[in-house]
Amino acid sequence: MNLHILPRAGEQVRARRARALLVSSILAVGLVASIVLSVASGQLAVSPAELLHIIGKPFGFDWGVAPTLPTAEAGFWTVRLPRIVMALLVGAALAVAGLLMQAVFGNPLAEPGVVGVSSGAAVGACSAIVFGLTMFGEWTVPAFAFGAGLLTMLLVYVFSRSRGRTEVITLILTGVAVNAFAGAALAFLSFVASAGAREQIVFWQLGSMNGARWVQVAVIVPIIVVAILVSSLLTRRLDLLSLGEKSARNLGVNVERLRLVAIVLVALLTAAAVSFVGIVAFVGLVLPHLMRMILGPAHGPLLITSVLGGALLMTLADLFARTAVPMADLPLGMLTALVGGPFFFFLIWRTRRTSGGWA
């Protein structure tokens, strides 16, 4: 036995921990900076002195100076801040959902949309818009989006089971079929919709944080927080699953149960994220894979950095969406696709190159 192996392995573990701590610290600092920049920027800019006054006033502190416009303070608490918090939650949820997908499928190119949650949610939301459903009042569209997303995931899981087991390739193919059907359903709904409903459909499919309110944030906070906490309890078993299903089973992992729990968490995170803001593409693909490239395969550090990175990316994307063009709000899905599309091609090229697909 080579006695030099153990010290070398210990050094590698310490190096990985140090790298994970460094990356987490950088992301945390970047996230705080992006939040500060977001709360001060927008169509109505707020100076640092005014920002100190607005934040300190509810706590009885008379910092800074009062805003010049009387509506600035109310707009900060009721419009800008809930929008920023919504962006943080949605980014973290989609990134963690992507991490779980990549762990379950054992494929760095997997993302939440593979199993049809996003497309199913889109069909539910657009159906409520086209047919004018109002049984839940203003909550009808997000309620239909959330319910349809969960139902789609359930159908994909049920149809992909065979002989008491769920094969990954069958799950992927079932998700592809469901996405194709959902695309056809969305096309039909857009065809029969009125002009006003069609505009709402397009707006919902492109994604936007515009109109986020505290009551909406309160609805998705418990779902996303609980799902992320439960995901943190799975990281050790996901590490074992990355060794292969047979090895994981030999080490005591119930692979089928783990896969089912992970898929349910993906459905909850994705459905909660898109129910109020619409479809936001590529966040669940780009962030987890980028963190994996930097930190390696350990899912504990990957979960922490994916939460921070997803929140940071979505905060910056939303900041750009509402400030890039004066008096306009760009679609979030368009911005994330512009960034994620080229990165996706890079991932494909890198995967083929490392697997020997290219000469």
Please report the DSSP string for 48-95 in residue order. HHHHHHHHHGGGT---S---SSTHHHHHIIIIIHHHHHHHHHHHHHHH
CA distance 161 to 174: 10
Give, to the nearest 10 degrees, the angle between helix 332-354 and helix 299-323. 140
- Taking only the tens place, the pLDDT of each residue in 62-105 is 666 666 666 677 778 888 889 999 999 999 999 999 999 889 88
Close Cβ partners of 13 (under 8 Å, ≥ 6 residues apart): none
Asked whether the predicted pLDDT for residue 315 surpasses 60, the reply is yes
Given pLDDT bands bounded at 50, 70 and 90, which one contains residue 314? very high
Close Cβ partners of 196 (under 8 Å, ≥ 6 residues apart): none
Paired tokens of 233: 């309890």
CA distance 226 to 265: 9
**How big is the chain, counted in residues?**
359
Question: C-alpha angle 48/74/64, rounded to 5°?
Answer: 25
Task: Give the number of C-alpha atoms closer than 13 A to the C-alpha of residue 299, restricted to the C-beta side.
Answer: 26
Q: Rounded mean pLDDT of 194-204?
A: 85
CB 83 within 8 A of CB 146: no
Across all residues in the chain, what is the average pLDDT? Answer: 84
- Predicted TM-score (pTM) of the model is 0.87
Give, to the nearest 10 degrees, the angle between helix 195-206 and helix 332-354. 40
Q: Are strands 161-162 and 165-166 parallel, antiparallel or unpaired?
A: antiparallel
Q: What is the pLDDT of residue 313?
A: 92
CA distance 13 to 78: 46
Paired tokens of 209: 């944080």
Domains (ranges, CATH) in the chain?
Answer: 27-354 (1.10.3470.10)
Strands (E), the chain: 161-162, 165-166
Q: Quick one: what percent of the chain has pLDDT higher than 70?
A: 88
The type of residue at 101 is M
| Residue 162, beta-bridge partner list | 165
Asked whether the predicted pLDDT for residue 6 surpasses 50, the reply is no
